[in-house]
Amino acid sequence: MIYNVRLDKMMNSPEDINDKGDTQFRIKIMPQVDLTWIKQFEEAYNASKSNVWRKVQVQNTYIEISCHHSELVDSHLPSIKNAINTANAVCQKMHEAYEKNRQEAIEKEKSEKKAKQDILDNLNLNLE
């Protein structure tokens, strides 16, 4: 499970910038994300009412947002960064819970196997 996502760099070229209107910005993210992380990011981003007017699209390796370049740094990047931090935190908790459950299942299996081995050992002692 992915929980260490960070912004890497802008993927646009200078020719992409539209001075008079919106530009479709592509921001590279690292590492490649999975569907669980995308879902958590979208929930966190869409939870803010100020983000209702600007939809963010998340792909495996980048985030897309369409806005005027003057709005990106002041208005949208803080919301994107906050949503990334929230998604990372939620996914990390999910990963930790999964690992804890997996470890408990392994310990339970070991304990059950030991109990069965103890039964066999006891039966073998009674054969002598």
What radius of gyration do the chain's Cα atoms show? 25
What pTM was computed for the model?
Answer: 0.79
CB 23 within 8 A of CB 69: yes
Ordered by where they begin, the domains of the chain are: 6-127 (3.30.1360)
What tokens does 22 get?
A: 């919106």
- Whole-angstrom Cα distance, residue 122 to residue 112? 15
- Whole-angstrom Cα distance, residue 30 to residue 92? 16
Rounded to whole angstroms, what are the CA distances from 78 to 44, 54, 84? 12, 13, 10
pLDDT at 51: 74
Distance from the Cα of residue 21 to its chain's centroid: 32
Pick from 87, 30, 92, 41: nearest CA to 65: 41
pLDDT at 40: 96
pLDDT at 52: 66
Q: Which residue has the tokens 């020719």?
A: 15
Strands of 16-68 (E only): list them.
23-30, 56-58, 62-67
pLDDT at 27: 96
**pLDDT tens digits along 19-32:** 899 999 999 999 99
**pLDDT tens digits along 32-76:** 999 999 999 999 998 887 776 788 999 889 999 999 998 898 889
pLDDT at 100: 95
**pLDDT tens digits along 67-126:** 999 889 888 999 999 999 999 999 999 999 999 999 999 999 999 999 999 999 999 988
pLDDT at 74: 87
At residue 40, what are phi and psi to the nearest 5 degrees? Answer: -65, -40
